[in-house]
Amino acid sequence: MKARILFLVSILVVGGLLWSGLQAVHPFGEPNAAPMDDYFIANAQSEAAANNVVTSIVFDYRGFDTLGEGAVLFTAVISVAALFRKRGQH
- Residue 34 is predicted with a pLDDT of 76
**Which stretches of the chain score pLDDT less than 70?**
88-90
Do residues 60 and 47 lie in contact, with contact meaning Cβ atoms separated by under 8 Å? yes
Query: Which pLDDT value is given to residue 32?
Result: 74
DSSP 14-83: HHHHHHHHHHTSPPTT-----HHHHHHHHHHHHHH--S-HHHHIIIIITHHHHHHHHHHHHHHHHHHHHH
According to the model, what pLDDT value does residue 76 have? 97
Question: What is the pLDDT, as a whole number, of residue 90?
Answer: 58
The b-or-e profile of 1-32 (16+ CB within 10 A means b, else e) is eeeeeeeeeeeeeeeeeeeeeeeeeeeeeeee
